[in-house]
Amino acid sequence: MKEKTLSELVYERYSLYYRCVNKMYHKENREITDSNELSRNLKIDSSLIRRDLSLIGKMGKRGMGYSLLSLKSGIEEILGKDKTWNLVIVGLGNLGNAILRYLAHSSSNYNIIKVYEKDPRKINTKVEGHVINDMEHFDTGIRYDIGIIAVPSTEAQGVANILVNHGIKAILNFAPVKLKLPESIFYREVDIFKELDILSGMLTFEMNNH
Amino acid sequence: MKEKTLSELVYERYSLYYRCVNKMYHKENREITDSNELSRNLKIDSSLIRRDLSLIGKMGKRGMGYSLLSLKSGIEEILGKDKTWNLVIVGLGNLGNAILRYLAHSSSNYNIIKVYEKDPRKINTKVEGHVINDMEHFDTGIRYDIGIIAVPSTEAQGVANILVNHGIKAILNFAPVKLKLPESIFYREVDIFKELDILSGMLTFEMNNH
DNA sequence: GAGTGTGAAGGCATTCACAGCC
DNA sequence: GGCTGTGAATGCCTTCACACTC
Nearest to A200 among B85, B103, B199 (CB): B85
pLDDT exceeds 80 at position B2: no
Which of the four pLDDT bands, split at 50, 70 and 90, describes residue A5?
Answer: confident
In terms of Cα–Cα distance, which of A149, A153, A159, A121 is closest to B106? A153
Q: How far is the CA of A66 from the C1' of D11 (A)?
A: 29
| Averaged pLDDT, A179-199 | 96
pLDDT exceeds 90 at position B95: yes
| Averaged pLDDT, B68-92 | 97
Which of the four pLDDT bands, split at 50, 70 and 90, describes residue A58?
Answer: confident
* Minimal CA separation from A137 to chain B, in Å: 26
| Averaged pLDDT, B86-109 | 94
Say whether B2 and A209 touch across the interface (CB within 8 A). Answer: yes
**What percent of chain A lies above the pLDDT cut of 70?**
99
Chain A and chain B share a number of CB contacts under 8 A equal to 195
Which of the four pLDDT bands, split at 50, 70 and 90, describes residue A180?
Answer: very high
What is the spatial distance between Cα A202 and Cα B184, in angstroms, rounded to a whole number?
Answer: 11
Nearest to A80 among B19, B83, B204 (CB): B204
Nearest to A190 among B79, B145, B190 (CB): B190
Q: Which of A4-8, A84-88, B156-160 has the lowest mean pLDDT?
A: A4-8
pLDDT exceeds 70 at position A25: yes
Q: How far is the CA of B54 from the C1' of C9 (A)?
A: 20
Which of the four pLDDT bands, split at 50, 70 and 90, describes residue A2?
Answer: low
The whole-model pTM stands at: 0.95
Q: Which of A11-20, A84-93, B139-148 has the lowest mean pLDDT?
A: B139-148
pLDDT exceeds 90 at position A3: no
Which of the four pLDDT bands, split at 50, 70 and 90, describes residue A139?
Answer: confident
**Radius of gyration of the CA atoms of chain A, in A:** 20
Q: How far is the CA of A63 from the C1' of C21 (A)?
A: 8
pLDDT exceeds 90 at position B209: no
Backbone phi, psi, residue A185, to 5°: -85, 130
> Can you spell out the DSSP letters for B113-170?
EEEEE--TTTTT-EETTEEEEETTS--TTS--SEEEE-S-HHHHHHHHHHHHHTT--E
Q: Which of A142-146, B24-28, B46-50, B57-61 has the lowest mean pLDDT?
A: B57-61
pLDDT at A78: 96
pLDDT exceeds 50 at position B1: no
| Averaged pLDDT, A76-83 | 96
3-state secondary structure of B104: helix
pLDDT at B129: 94
**Radius of gyration of the CA atoms of chain B, in A:** 20
pLDDT at A44: 97
pLDDT exceeds 90 at position A92: yes
What is the spatial distance between Cα B125 and Cα A47, in angstroms, rounded to a whole number?
Answer: 50
Q: For an interface test with B, which of A174, A197, A207 has the most B Cβ atoms less than 10 Å from its Cβ?
A: A197
- In tens, the pLDDT along B118-163 reads 999 999 999 999 999 999 898 888 899 999 999 999 999 999 999 9
pLDDT exceeds 60 at position A166: yes
In sequence order, the 6+-apart residues with CB closer than 8 A to the CB of B109 are A200, B80, B81, B82, B83, B84, B85
Say whether B16 and A170 touch across the interface (CB within 8 A). Answer: no
pLDDT exceeds 70 at position B108: yes
Which of the four pLDDT bands, split at 50, 70 and 90, describes residue B78?
Answer: very high
pLDDT at A209: 85
| Averaged pLDDT, A15-21 | 98
pLDDT at A1: 44
Distances (CA, A) of B165 to A142, A166, A207, B81, B154: 51, 50, 20, 26, 19
CA angle A50–A56–A61, rounded 5-degree value: 55
- Measured CA to C1', the nucleotide nearest B51 is C5
